[in-house]
Amino acid sequence: MKYPRPPGPKGSPIFGVAVDFWRDSIASLQAWTREYGDVVYFRTGPYVVHFYFLNDPDAIREVLARQADQFERPALIKRFLGTFLGNGVLLSDGPTHERQRKMIFPALCPRSVKSYAECMVQCTQDMMDRWKPGDVIDIEPVMTGLALTIGCRTLFGKDADDIVDFVFDASEKAQRYINRIFRSFIPIPIWIPTPRNRALKASLREGDRIIMDLIAERRASGADEGDLLSMLLQADQAEGGADDKEIRDQVATLSMVGHETTATALTWTWYLLSLHPEVEAKLVAQVREVIGDRAPTVEDVPNLSYVNMVFRETLRLYPPVWIFSRTATADVDVGPVTIPKGGTVAVSPYITQRDPRYFDDPESFRPERFAPGTEEKINRYANFPFGAGQRGCLGENFAITEAVLILSAVVQRYRFSLAPGQAIATDPMITLRPRNGIRMQVQGRD
């Protein structure tokens, strides 16, 4: 049955609005919501996708929570991300997804995250020991390397240091491949033997070998190393058994995706702090009051409320996962529109979290929005950088704890100033990275 479509841009007969959308997705969505309202229909091609973009918190709640079981991950997303992540918790649906969340939860629950805090701080100290005042660094790869090191050490324990560089290289290759896919009207599948694809496939094979060897060794030893891999293997047995391939998919998801989002958010945090010295001064004052000159610990995190507020305000302005999409598995009524079976719903934390109806002066960097007693007044579905509902991010507590400890440790010793001559812009692909990096000058803290 055909249902009336909401208003929206038409575009060309073949490509729809693909040219405008992929050239500048954020600007396009902002313009379309201003012109057509909170429900916008548009089509992209030549792989024809019918999008229903929603910018209303009540409608977003329907898709992410109330009627989440009527939606699944889009097939194109599964196809291209699945090349690297398999059928891990990020891409699975239905009962498989529910089972995998139960399997992963013990490794990311608050008690487990507390046990990783010392590793987070030590990795940060090791990174800073390589700096000296006056250095100019691109903060994005630096934060990526730090988050990846933390991720691998908490995931693989003592085995991590041998594979961090490899995982970093593989993750960057995967990111570039996926970005090329999303920037292409007719993407080149990985099975076509171009030089880039051959190199990427070789990297994937080596990565699979490394991970599968680690899984086999850990299974054979039966040792509990207190890391994420041990917890996954224990949860695997508790959940009725999962084969090595499924464990591999969870490991790939946690190692390749988990570090990317935290690193991107930290990158934008340092950028915003460099533009707002008054906010940085408040953050430093709290760190000095709570911690002094010693290293931060997990027990300090609840008392570092302003550091938490700064990071959450960054997530509002620059959510790493800036858009979510779901495909309807049946005809679904969402507010004033019926999403037909096969239609793809898109919601964007970036767009909604900058809407003046939900945030006063939304383009301004104001951490006080997230002060205790104030944050509770924010509509849960007007601010959702970690998603929400059945697919809400399991790693939220890990990411917040990690970010608060990293920010606190770094500002004790250093501050960053934005290197001149840069035009900072977002690159809205899989995650919201800065288009050309962000160069920062390292300065010692007086």
Q: Tell me: the pLDDT tens digits for 121-151?
A: 999 999 999 999 999 999 999 999 999 899 8
pLDDT at residue 307, rounded to an integer: 98
| Backbone region of residue 11 per phi and psi (left: phi > 0; alpha: psi in -120 to 50; beta: other values) | left
For residue 326, being part of any structural domain is answered with yes
Distance (Å, whole) CA 113 – CA 52:
37
**Which one-letter amino acid corresponds to residue 236?**
D
- Residue carrying structure tokens 């033997």: 193
Alpha-helical segments (H) within 277-395: 277-290, 305-317, 349-352
For residue 278, what is the domain's CATH number? 1.10.630.10
Asked, for residue 1, whether it belongs to a domain, the answer is no
Predicted local confidence at residue 62, as pLDDT: 96
| Confidence check: pLDDT of 442 > 90 | yes
Q: Is the pLDDT of residue 46 over 70?
A: no
In a domain, 208, yes or no: yes
3-class SS at 227? coil
Q: Is the separation of the CB atoms in 44 and 16 below 8 Å?
A: yes
Across the range 4-27, mean pLDDT stands at 84
Q: Which domain holds residue 319?
A: 18-416
Is residue 293 included in any domain, yes or no?
yes
pLDDT confidence tier of residue 189, bands split at 50, 70 and 90: low
Task: Name the CA radius of gyration of the chain, rounded.
Answer: 22
How many domains does the structure of the chain reveal? 1
DSSP 108-131: HSHHHHHHHHHHHHHHHHHHHTT-
Q: Is the pLDDT of residue 96 over 70?
A: yes
How confident is the model over 209-240, as pLDDT tens digits? 888 888 888 888 877 777 788 878 877 655 55
Query: 41-55, 113-127, 306-320 — which is least confidently predicted?
Result: 41-55
CA distance 299 to 401: 10
Q: Which of 11-25, 96-110, 281-295 has the lowest mean pLDDT?
A: 11-25
In a domain, 405, yes or no: yes
Q: Write down the pLDDT at residue 295.
A: 96
Listed in sequence order, the residues at least 6 apart from 42 whose beta carbon sits closer than 8 Å to its beta carbon are 8, 9, 11, 16, 17, 21, 32, 51, 53
Residue 322 lies in a domain: yes
Whole-structure pTM value? 0.92
**Residue 233 maps to a domain:** yes
pLDDT score at 254: 82
d(CA 94, CA 162): 36
* β-pair partners for 41: 52
Element (H, E) at 442: strand 439-444
User: Domain for residue 229, yes or no?
Assistant: yes
Half-sphere exposure of 242 (CA within 13 A, CB side): 26
Using DSSP's 3-state secondary structure scheme, residue 292 falls into: coil
- Tokens linked to 77: 């997303």
